Amino acid sequence: MTDVICPLCGKPNPPDREECLYCQAPLKASGFVAPSEPGDEENQLLPPSGETGEAEEQTSQPAEASSLEQAIPDWLKATEANFLGQSESEQEKPGTDLVSEQIDSLLNQPSTPDSTNEPAIDDDWLASLLEETGIGESSATTSQEESSEGQEDTFEADKTEPFSEELAQEEPPASADQAEKPEWLTNLEATSPIKLDRVLPASEPDGQSTGVVDTGEETGSGEMEIPEWIAKSGSEVSPPSDKEAESQIAPAELPSWLEALRPDEGVSPTGPLEDLSAADIVTAGPLVGLRGVISAHPSAIRAHKPPTYSIKLRVTEEQRARVEMMEALLADEQKPKPLPAQPVISSRNIFRLVIVVVLILPIAWMIITGSQRTPAPQPGNIPGVVDFTQQVQTLPIGAPVLLAFDYEAGFSGEMNLAISTVINQLIIKNAYMAIVTTTPAGPALAESIMRRADTGLEGKPETYYTDLGYIPGGTIGLLGLANSPKTVLPYSLDGNNVWAVAPLNAISSIKDFSAVIVMTNDPDIARSWIEQVSPQLQVDGTPLLIVTSSQAEPLIRPYYEATPSQVQGLVAGFVGGLAFSRTVGNIQQNGTWDAFSIGITVSVLIILIGSIIAVVLKMLALGKLKEN
Amino acid sequence: MKKILPIANAIIAVISGLFVLLGYFFPKVFGGIQSVLIGWAIILAAFALLLGIFNLAMVHWKKIGAEGPSNINSIVLLISLIITMIVVSFSGPTGSWSLWIFNTFQLPVEISLIAVLAVILVYAGARLLSRRPKWYTGLFLVTVLIVLIGSVPLFFIGEIAPLNALRGWLAQVPAVAGARGLLLGVALGTVATGLRILMGVDRPYGG
Amino acid sequence: MGQVLSLIKDYFGFLFVLICLGLILFYIYSDRNRPKINLRDIQAFKHFRREVDLTVEAGKRLHVSLGRGNINDLQGGAAFIGLSILDCCARAASNSDRPPVTTSGDGVLTILSQDTLQSAYHTLATEQRYDPTNARLTGLTPMAYAAGTMPTIHDEHVSANIFAGHLGSEIALMTEASERSRSLSVAGTDSIPAQAVLYATSDEPLLGEELYAAGAYLGAGPAHLASLRMQDILRWVLILIMVIGAILKLLGILP
Amino acid sequence: MLERIGQLADPIGAIIGFVLTVMVLSYIIGDNVLFRLAIPIFIGAASGYAAVLILYNVLWYQVLVPVFQVITTGKMDNMLIYATHVVPAVILGIWMMTKMSPRLARWGTPVLAFLTGVGAATVIAGAVRGTIFPQVGASVNLLNIRTAPSELNELVGWFINGLVVLVGTATTLIYFHFGIKRQEEGVPVTRSVVLGYLSTAGQGFIVVTLGVLFAGVYIAALSALIDRVSFLWDTIIRFF
């Protein structure tokens, strides 16, 4: 700063003023040029007059700019130019530009006081703010406005950096300000508590006065709290800071003119006590010849009520708006961001769609045309089917058979062919079917199939089957059923006591049935039947026959293949059902078998192609990795 | 009371469990009490089902109050649940109207869901190697392909006898070995889990 | 003869259970200060722990699917493990904005899951967070259960699904829903066909008895670690019995 | 009137089934409103049916029918069994209903504790008697010389297959071995070399098993898909 200090009241005045703004004392006469105003020294980052938005200081911008340009070292000019360039071109990575380099170099200094790195962070903050807001021209214009007014403080702060650095490290002066600075003032600064303040890390005044910079710092550190001073930016600066400043230095050492400039005591003007050796001799008036006294200039004689010195923290509307914007941005950070909606057209969806088309179209075509191209499965090639058929064929006429409908409705598409064939065979054999189930859907499935099967048959359904219903308790229930069926299921679903009439009145335990046929898609249910019921059946050689889904076959087949066999017959899945139906002379005339065949063929191709693509992509990726 | 209740619960669980367990291994001595306790458990499971249905209804009743399309689904579910329960109660589980509801609403949807499963599985199979590019994934896929090709005569190609035989061997020998090992492992885990409950260490009933 | 065999089987069975119990008690006592073994890495549990933390961080929800196992049946074991995992989840996610949601396909299991949640919150003194509708029955048949669980996965801000219980091949519908809603799925079941499906469809399948080790891996207590050591001892015992028995049978020494 | 409705019920049912099938299959392409609408209908119907069936078989036949029997005939078959097997269960069941209210829920816990205890014992016994003993017995019997085939070729095949199953079962069990000897701090925990090889072999067996089962599940699902396509085509032919 090149403001002129009033020799009378010690207040800073713009260089173009003839007399003091506050006490009307002549300024030019004394030619007293302060290197920087104490307020600036007290906290280098306090937004100087340029940022306060006060009208008279707005007008002084050009002059300031010119004097500033002299004061700015080259690297800082580059920084400023860079920053403006950056904000105009909305560079995404401020960390890579010259500003950041400078900031890094500053931050890396071992004894860098806060005041020196804050502006750097401020730059980051601004840059990130511009990025975050993503304003194109608007951001550019904003940065231009900043360079012309509100933002000036940032650059000012930047400009103070080398200065403070030099002071801290007692390097030879490099700026114009330094050149202009008289020796006494250098000494004064050396003993000044305010400079000490500046060197103190994160001292309270810094924290309080460098509002925008602080905000920037907070952005940099990712903290979510907006500093208190922003909230009560209209109120006075809290006294503790000043007390703290005082407590650090003995008041006696503080020059009184400097004392006078302290914000909270600025209202009582005191005579300057500075060394007046450099002051001019009065050339006019009664005090002619005296050095450093107030010349009897008419304007100086006029008594004035000392003006109150505003100590309000001065934040422009724009700065306030910017901080609010930052606050909003930080608030957004706290909210969990919802996952972006999945695009409707993604590679996965396309792949899935392709699979659907490739899989379903041929199947549909086979069914529509009723194709009979593929040779039907031979019962001999499918283990279990021949034994199953023989066991059913060898059942005595009218024998009681226990049927367990233990499959889920969803698997009826796969198992219905086999099951309806079994039911038809049992009806032909005039067997009496006692139906039980351990799955809730069982009774409905059984009833539906029985009703479909008995169409065209004469006689009441109850003459050849009864539905005993659901066995609660899973495995325990099965154990109970094996020991005493009539205790577990005392009544049929119609509410009849079927155990009292023929043929079930002859049944005391499960082995009294001629055969037990379990229909299930669940290997666990099949295992329960095999492990809980099969031992009892083996005593009298009652066969346990299983109709199952292809998903359970691999786990049930070992029981069928075992020696001695625990399962005497096995029909598994659609293939087994088709083979079984063909053995008993029921040949299907629709295209489901061809559809099944082409479905499997297409599925194999899809899995193969998918896997090959995966391997190729992996190899390509590995190749690229090796290249890199 | 707040301290006594959890301990009492644990004691109840341990004692009832011990009697049932002993009933399995010494049926002559503890068989009677075991069957009584299991009989209670079966009837209690039915009461628990009532609570479950109540819970299902409450969850969707709450959703009806909520905004958005889910409340429509909840209304539909509740209507469907209530109508089905009323119809099946009056018509009986094997009555004509019960069967109509079963064959119209339950059967098609359930089979369709498994049909959807087919597409999901083939899609997963095709993506598996890119998802988990490991040697055992490759072995898994090779096995799947062999079993699929060995199960059905391929369209245009017909039956591939060697693969058919290989499929049979895979299902008979290595698959049985693996399944047996898995079943035994699961059984050991199950025993450990049950014992922790009978020791009162795990208390899923709370307390 | 058959009766004698069944008698021997019964006594052996009881002896086997006693050995298991003794081993667990022994390891609880011997490892009371510091466990003497490490556990091999199971990626699913690593990801599970991380996912629980992330879920709490993101203010999202954990979904624990307990399956449809009837606890009075063989599948009850998996259901009990599911409840142990639920307890861990409820404790870990107790400070989450959205408490975990549980789905099950059996009445008893639903009530047990409610109790587990309530007692977990009770011990953490956050019982006011307990909402019975967070432990739901979603369907009483396997497919109804799967279909009823899918909307929960899609609509309730679920970021991680843990399927732990008795689930059949219908589990693929749920893992697919989980993938479509871009949430992680850690899945384990006692059904072997379902494990085969999981192997292809799930991010982190738990195979075989890995599900039953959940308590030990999630730090549910020393008894879980002790029971895992018991399993390790007994697996070797079973292997020895099988090998020696097979050799004796091959030599015709055993009938 | 009812007959008329009865006649219409079948075609209406077929059309509703057709529409529901299309709605559910639409999930193949992606989650959508049609699928979301079909699902609650299904859940309601399936759960409602299952609930009534179970209540019908348990509460109706085991609990209420004997009571009606007493009311109508003045006597009851197996009064003692009813008094010991049913009455206490009904009392416990009513007690369990406290779970309906979150406030009273804790008072119903003893009933759940009882159910859990019984369940735990059942799963232990089931695992030991139902799985461990039969599976170990089957493995031991694999190489029973008394069941060996007489011809040399078959004998060799029988022996090799039996050996493979035995080794596969053992290595699969070894694969799941959880414990690893505690190393010094910082030393990565790894299995011993032998255990590593054995568990790798076990992993191979597991993967083959899962592959076979996956193929089985897929074939079942494909059959369902074919059934649905067939159903859709039949319905189209029937009405159009």
Chains near A, with 3+ CB pairs < 8 A?
A: B, C, D
SS3 of residue A329 by DSSP? helix
A536 CB near a chain C CB, below 8 Å? no
> Of all residues in chain A, what percent carry a pLDDT higher than 90?
14
Q: Which of B80, B117, B128, B144 to mutate to test the interface with C (most CBs of C within 10 A)?
A: B117
Residues A567 and A613 in one domain: no
Lowest model confidence (mean pLDDT) among A298-302, A311-315, C94-98, D126-130: A298-302
Q: Which of C129, C237, C239 to mutate to test the interface with D (most CBs of D within 10 A)?
A: C239
Q: Where do the structural domains in chain D lie, given as residue ranges?
A: 1-75, 76-143, 145-179+191-240
Closest-CA residue to C104 (of C75, C142, C55, C159): C142
Residues A451 and A596 in one domain: no
Determine the distance in angstroms separating the CA of D196 from the nearest CA of chain A, rounded to an integer: 27
Locate A159 and state its tokens: 């400009």
Q: Above 80 in pLDDT, residue D196?
A: yes
Determine the distance in angstroms separating the CA of A357 from the nearest CA of chain D, rounded to an integer: 10
Q: In whole angstroms, what is the distance from residue A342 CA to residue C98 CA?
A: 23
Find the helix or strand (DSSP H, E) in which C67 lies: strand C61-67
Residues A539 and A607 in one domain: no
All residues of chain B having their beta carbon less than 8 Å from the beta carbon of residue A611 are: 126, 128-129, 138, 141
What does the pLDDT look like over A232-259, one tens digit per residue? 444 444 444 444 444 445 455 666 666 6
The reply to whether A620 falls in a domain is: yes
Residues A422 and A461 in one domain: yes
Q: How confident is the model at residue A488 (pLDDT cuts 50, 70, 90)?
A: confident
Beta-carbon contacts of residue A549 (< 8 Å; ≥ 6 apart): A407, A411, A414, A415, A520, A521, A572, A573, D216, D220
Residues A474 and A424 in one domain: yes
Lowest model confidence (mean pLDDT) among A145-154, B189-198, C124-133: A145-154
Structural domain boundaries, residue C111: 43-220
- pLDDT given at position A315: 77
Q: Are A124 and A107 in contact (CB under 8 A)?
A: no
Q: Which of A355, A356, A475, A563 to mutate to test the interface with C (most CBs of C within 10 A)?
A: A475
Most confident of A397-406, A556-565, D80-89: A397-406
Smallest Cβ–Cβ distance between A353 and the set D29, D209, D225 belongs to D29
CA atoms within 13 A on the CB side of B79: 11
| Element counts in chain C: helices (H) and strands (E) | 9, 7
Taking all residues of chain B, what is their mean pLDDT, rounded to a whole number? 88
B30 CB near a chain D CB, below 8 Å? no
ipTM of the complex: 0.90
The reply to whether C153 falls in a domain is: yes
B189 vs C211: CB contact, 8 Å cut-off?
A: yes
Residues A384 and A511 in one domain: yes
Higher pLDDT, A110 or B30: B30
Structural domain boundaries, residue A607: 345-369+591-628
Chains near B, with 3+ CB pairs < 8 A?
A: A, C, D
Most confident of A516-525, A585-594, B157-166, C130-139: A516-525
Q: Are C249 and D145 in contact (CB under 8 A)?
A: yes
Q: Are A481 and A459 in contact (CB under 8 A)?
A: no
Maximum distance among all Cα pairs of chain B, rounded to whole angstroms: 76
Per-residue burial over A162-188, b if 16 or more Cβ lie within 10 Å, else e, is bbbbbbbeeeebebbbbebbeeebeeb
B111 vs A409: CB contact, 8 Å cut-off?
A: yes
The reply to whether A304 falls in a domain is: no
Q: How confident is the model at residue A44 (pLDDT cuts 50, 70, 90)?
A: very low
Q: Are B184 and D136 in contact (CB under 8 A)?
A: yes
Determine the distance in angstroms separating the CA of C78 from the nearest CA of chain B, rounded to an integer: 7
D58 CB near a chain A CB, below 8 Å? yes
Determine the distance in angstroms separating the CA of D222 from the nearest CA of chain C, rounded to an integer: 13
- pLDDT given at position C58: 79
- Total domains in chain A come to 3
- Total domains in chain C come to 1
The reply to whether A256 falls in a domain is: no
Residues A414 and A561 in one domain: yes
Q: In whole angstroms, what is the distance from residue C5 CA to residue B58 CA?
A: 52
Q: What is the mean pLDDT of residues B178-192?
A: 92
Closest-CA residue to C189 (of C174, C173, C169): C169
The reply to whether A18 falls in a domain is: no
Q: How confident is the model at residue C60 (pLDDT cuts 50, 70, 90)?
A: confident
Higher pLDDT, C162 or D69: C162
Closest-CA residue to D117 (of A424, B20, A53): B20
Residues A443 and A415 in one domain: yes
What does the pLDDT look like over A497-547, one tens digit per residue? 888 877 888 888 888 899 999 999 999 889 888 877 887 887 788 899 999
Smallest Cβ–Cβ distance between C191 and the set A409, A410, A524 belongs to A524
Query: How far separated are the first and last CA of chain B, in Å rounded?
Result: 12
> Of all residues in chain D, what percent carry a pLDDT higher than 70?
95
Q: In whole angstroms, what is the distance from residue B28 CA to residue D36 CA?
A: 54
Find the helix or strand (DSSP H, E) in which C204 lies: strand C204-206
Q: What is the mean pLDDT of residues D115-125?
A: 90
CA distances, A598 to each of A436, B158, C228, D153 (Å): 37, 11, 47, 37
Domain CATH code at residue A447:
3.40.50.10160
Beta-carbon contacts of residue C89 (< 8 Å; ≥ 6 apart): C52, C62, C64, C100, C162
The reply to whether C225 falls in a domain is: no
Residues A470 and A584 in one domain: yes
Q: Above 70 in pLDDT, residue A183?
A: no
Q: How confident is the model at residue A204 (pLDDT cuts 50, 70, 90)?
A: very low
Helices (H), A149-227: 152-169, 176-180, 183-191, 193-199, 204-209, 211-221
All residues of chain C having their beta carbon less than 8 Å from the beta carbon of residue B188 are: 209, 212, 231, 234-235, 238
Residue C140 buriedness (CB in 10 A; 0-12 / 13-18 / 19+): buried
D51 CB near a chain C CB, below 8 Å? yes
The reply to whether C8 falls in a domain is: no
Q: In whole angstroms, what is the distance from residue D63 CA to residue D178 CA?
A: 48
Among A193, A217, A235, residue at a domain's last position: A235
Q: Above 50 in pLDDT, residue D231?
A: yes
- pLDDT given at position A460: 63
The reply to whether C132 falls in a domain is: yes
The reply to whether A540 falls in a domain is: yes
SS3 of residue A622 by DSSP? helix
Residues A605 and A476 in one domain: no
Taking all residues of chain C, what is their mean pLDDT, rounded to a whole number? 87
Per-residue burial over A240-260, b if 16 or more Cβ lie within 10 Å, else e, is ebbeebeeeeeeeebbebbbb
> Of all residues in chain C, what percent carry a pLDDT higher than 70?
96
- pLDDT given at position A23: 66
Q: Are C135 and C114 in contact (CB under 8 A)?
A: yes
Q: Above 90 in pLDDT, residue D212?
A: yes
Residues A357 and A439 in one domain: no
C77 vs D182: CB contact, 8 Å cut-off?
A: no
Closest-CA residue to C93 (of C238, C218, C240, C250): C218
CA distances, C200 to each of A237, A376, B125, B131 (Å): 67, 31, 6, 9
Q: In whole angstroms, what is the distance from residue D172 CA to residue A8 CA?
A: 98
All residues of chain A having their beta carbon less than 8 Å from the beta carbon of residue D223 are: 413-414, 550, 573-574, 596
CA distances, A87 to each of A8, A25, B83, B109 (Å): 44, 44, 67, 60
Q: How confident is the model at residue C175 (pLDDT cuts 50, 70, 90)?
A: very high
- pLDDT given at position D59: 84
Q: Are D169 and C242 in contact (CB under 8 A)?
A: yes
Q: Above 80 in pLDDT, residue A586?
A: no
What does the pLDDT look like over B57-80, one tens digit per residue? 888 888 887 766 668 889 999 999
Q: Above 60 in pLDDT, residue A302?
A: no
Among A235, A255, A276, residue at a domain's last position: A235
Instruction: Specify the pairing of strand C184-189 against strand C204-206.
Output: parallel
Q: Above 60 in pLDDT, residue A267?
A: no
The reply to whether C4 falls in a domain is: no
Cis peptide before A564 (omega within 30 of 0): yes
What does the pLDDT look like over A53-108, one tens digit per residue? 343 444 344 444 444 444 445 554 544 444 444 444 444 444 344 444 554 544 44
Find the helix or strand (DSSP H, E) in which D161 lies: helix D152-175
SS3 of residue D144 by DSSP? coil
Find the helix or strand (DSSP H, E) in which A434 lies: strand A432-437
D213 vs C13: CB contact, 8 Å cut-off?
A: no
Residues A451 and A551 in one domain: yes
